[in-house]
């Protein structure tokens, strides 16, 4: 498989790329069904695709929240998806000691937003030589990401992606400042917009987070028009019964409607027009 960072082209002739899948690995069969659907859809629309799913959600709201199968079984499932569909895979790590094991399977290592200032974690991920996607913390200004990028680059790794996922706005709420995308692009890194976590309501349902998936498609379209290189979207065929982040995950039907619009908006931007 070619280096996934090379398929995520940016610039005036590049298509948008998509990182999508369930929030967490609920089971092998669920992941396979979602990966199969998204692979077929992205091939049809000519969109480079990376499958995402967490094998351990360490930052859940409640001690009773479902966290996933753990690294051993989770990485085995991700490796199977990677092989079965010939697609890159991405997942997150939460401690420096996890980086080397994750790098044996993952094509891109992700740093969760709440851990984006953890220097040792970022350096350990970067030292694997794998591309690293760093999510901007809900508590940070976009220009603060420059220092975080330099932490990763200090390990000799220039293959860094940045993801906007909303900013804390009072209690249990997030808002999106589209200016953030352009500001973070000044680092020279590809910039991704996480449309589904941006409509999350953290802890908004007491023992779990809420959200409003209806707002994800318009924000995704706005982000591409504002210059995002790609999208990150949690996707599920039955989000109302998903074990993690269901309220803000989009359905298959929503993705089928949205993706052609994203491609069309990016084409307009690439042609020097405005959306």
* Reported confidence tier of residue 211, pLDDT bands at 50, 70, 90: confident
* pLDDT for res 2: 47
Residue 137 pLDDT > 80: yes
* pLDDT for res 43: 97
Percent of the chain residues past pLDDT 70, beyond the cut = 92
Orientation angle between helical segments 119-127 and 145-153, nearest 10 degrees: 40
Question: Rounded to 10 degrees, what is the CA torsion of 250, 217, 130, 183?
Answer: -150
Cα angle for residues 178, 223, 267 (degrees, 5° grid):
140
Residue 274 pLDDT > 60: no
β-strands 191-194, 167-168 pairing = unpaired
pLDDT in tens, 48-99: 999 999 999 887 677 878 888 999 999 999 999 999 999 999 999 999 999 9
Q: Give 71-75's long-range contacts (Cβ < 8 A, gap of 24+).
A: 71/98, 71/101, 71/102, 73/25, 74/25, 75/101, 75/102, 75/104, 75/105, 75/106
Q: Please choose, from the candidates 121, 115, 129, the residue with its C-alpha nearest in 3D space to the C-alpha of residue 4.
A: 129
Task: Find the mean pLDDT for residues 207-215.
Answer: 80
β-strands 200-201, 191-194 pairing = unpaired
pLDDT in tens, 23-40: 999 999 999 999 999 999
* Distance separating the N- and C-terminal Cα atoms of the chain: 34
For 17-270, CATH number out of 3.30.500.10, 3.60.20.40, 1.10.10.10, 3.20.20.70 equals 3.20.20.70
Percent of the chain residues past pLDDT 90, beyond the cut = 81
Comparison of pLDDT for 204 and 264, the residue scoring more: 264
* pLDDT for res 136: 98
Strands (DSSP E) found in 22-107:
49-52, 89-92
* Reported confidence tier of residue 7, pLDDT bands at 50, 70, 90: low
* pLDDT for res 192: 98
* pLDDT for res 89: 98
Centre a 10 Å sphere on the Cβ of residue 44 and count the other Cβ atoms it contains: 11
């Amino acid at each position: 498989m070619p280096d996934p960072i090379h398929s995520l082209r940016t610039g005036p002739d590049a298509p948008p790329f998509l990182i999508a899948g369930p929030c967490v690995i609920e089971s092998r069969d669920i992941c396979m069904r979602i990966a199969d659907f998204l692979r077929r859809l992205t091939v049809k629309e000519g969109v480079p695709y990376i499958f995402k799913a967490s094998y351990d959600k360490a930052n859940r709201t409640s001690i009773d929240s479902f966290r996933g199968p753990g690294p051993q079984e989770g990485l085995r499932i991700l490796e199977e998806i990677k092989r079965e569909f010939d697609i890159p895979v991405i997942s997150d790590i939460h401690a420096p000691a996890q980086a080397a094991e994750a790098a044996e399977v993952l094509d891109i290592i992700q740093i969760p937003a709440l851990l984006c200032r953890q220097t040792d974690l970022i350096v350990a991920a970067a030292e694997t030589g794998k591309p690293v996607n760093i999510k901007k913390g809900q508590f940070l200004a976009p220009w603060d990401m420059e220092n975080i990028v330099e932490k990763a680059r200090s390990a000799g790794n220039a293959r860094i992606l940045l993801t906007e996922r909303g900013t804390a706005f009072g209690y249990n709420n997030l808002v999106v400042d589209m200016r953030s995308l352009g500001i973070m692009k000044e680092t020279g890194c590809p910039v991704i917009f996480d449309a589904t976590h941006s409509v999350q309501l953290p802890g908004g349902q007491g023992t779990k987070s809420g959200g409003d998936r209806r707002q994800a498609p318009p924000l995704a379209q706005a982000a591409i028009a504002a210059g995002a290189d790609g999208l990150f979207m949690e996707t599920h065929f039955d989000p109302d019964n998903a074990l993690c982040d269901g309220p803000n995950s989009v359905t298959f039907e929503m993705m089928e409607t949205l993706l052609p619009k994203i491609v069309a908006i990016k084409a307009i931007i690439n042609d020097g027009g405005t959306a």
